[in-house]
Amino acid sequence: MFEGILITKDDAGYRAQLQSIDEAQLPEGDVTVQVAWSTLNYKDGLAITGQSPVVRRFPMVPGIDFAGTVTASSHASWKVGDQVVLNGWGVGETHWGGLAGVARVKGDWLVRLPEAFSARQAMAIGTAGYTAMLCVMALERHGIQPGDGDILVTGANGGVGSVALALLARLGYRAVASTGRPQEAEHLKSIGAAEVIDRAELAAPGKALGKERWAGVVDAVGSHTLANACAGTRYGGAVAACGLAGGMDFPATVAPFILRGITLYGIDSVMAPLALRQQAWARLARDLDPALLEAFTREIPLAQAPAVAADLLAGQVRGRVVVRVTA
């Protein structure tokens, strides 16, 4: 038996509760992991609260991330005692996830924990930070250099935004943070923002083409924010879109793409191939300052995950949240 958050849906309604779970209930998989740490991402908030149909099967253990130790394996790549990290692959949606003491998954989904990080630090990064790294890598592959101009980061107080700011600053870029919480401006500057703007500048319907402001963009918001970010991107620039906190719609025109030759990159962290995941984690180990990571990380026990998930969706959580599962 082990403790975990279990989501159920029946005639009595939708519930996410901490309870004891029998290991015999675990889904199929060729690797079993004792989970030490997990985390809360925006998708976890949706799953736990039921505000969006993220969970596809019931009952379900939420948690799209975990870090821990292999306790059993029939997979050729993994042996007992290996330290591993998992992000995505539908875990916490269609396959039991990381907000429980034990997880059983496919070995192909796992990445070896980088030596540079503890399991806790890996979850302070989590899918949010790993996605931020994928966004930065996309801008780099596009050819955007630090001297080319400002990089806009939307949803800057969130997990993706916080890590993106830290990475961009470490790599020499000038990052501009967009946030709906202007009282957090000094915090955002302390982790890497050179300038902070109010999200209201981007959140309302805008022009098909705006002033050329951004060499590149990391967007975790979508909707009008993404449309306006594209409209304000400089000739030949690029936008890396990875989130939809503001909505799934994209009320834009083709003008920025055909008149300024900008590129919109869709960043998917869930099904990204292993080689790309390994590259992203290697880059995080090289380019992310662990001390700075700690500055925007909050730790909670497993029992608090449902309450904090609701706070996350309400925009009341700064940066990253790590969940102590069995550590």
Q: How confident is the model at residue 306 (pLDDT cuts 50, 70, 90)?
A: very high
Nearest CA to 213 among 227, 198, 229? 229
Domain 127-266 of CATH type 2.60.40.1220 = no
Give the mean model confidence (pLDDT) for residues 40-56. 93
With beta carbons less than 8 A apart as the criterion, state whether 161 and 136 touch. no
Give the mean model confidence (pLDDT) for residues 86-102. 97
d(CA 170, CA 3): 39
Look at residue 309 in the predicted model and tell me its pLDDT: 96
Residues 6 or more apart whose Cβ sits within 8 Å of residue 43:
54, 64, 92, 93, 127
Among all chains, which residue has been given the structure tokens 């935004």?
Answer: 161
Backbone φ, ψ for residue 183 (5° rounding): -65, -15
d(CA 154, CA 164): 10
Nearest CA to 138 among 284, 257, 269, 240? 240
**DSSP conformation letters of 199-241:** THHHHS---SS----EEEEEESSBHHHHHHHHHTEEEEEEEEE
Mean pLDDT for all residues in the chain: 96
What does DSSP say about strands 151-153 and 175-179: parallel, antiparallel, or unpaired? parallel
Give the mean model confidence (pLDDT) for residues 61-81. 98
For 93, which DSSP code?
T
What amino acid is encoded at 78 in this protein?
Answer: W
For 303, which DSSP code?
G
Nearest CA to 152 among 260, 232, 270, 97? 232
Domain at 2-113+296-324, CATH class: alpha beta
d(CA 89, CA 109): 7
What global pTM score does this model have?
0.93
- Encoded tokens for 35: 């989970």
Look at residue 315 in the predicted model and tell me its pLDDT: 86
Tens of pLDDT, residue by residue over 240-293, are 999 999 999 999 999 999 999 999 999 999 999 999 999 999 999 999 998 889
Residue 141 pLDDT exceeds 80: yes
Q: What percent of the chain has pLDDT over 70?
A: 100
Q: Where are the domains of the chain?
A: 2-113+296-324, 127-266
d(CA 151, CA 143): 13
Residue 327 pLDDT exceeds 80: no
Look at residue 30 in the predicted model and tell me its pLDDT: 98
With beta carbons less than 8 A apart as the criterion, state whether 310 and 49 touch. yes
Torsion angle of the four alpha carbons 99, 101, 104, 106, in this order, in degrees rounded to the nearest 10: 60
Give the mean model confidence (pLDDT) for residues 161-179. 97
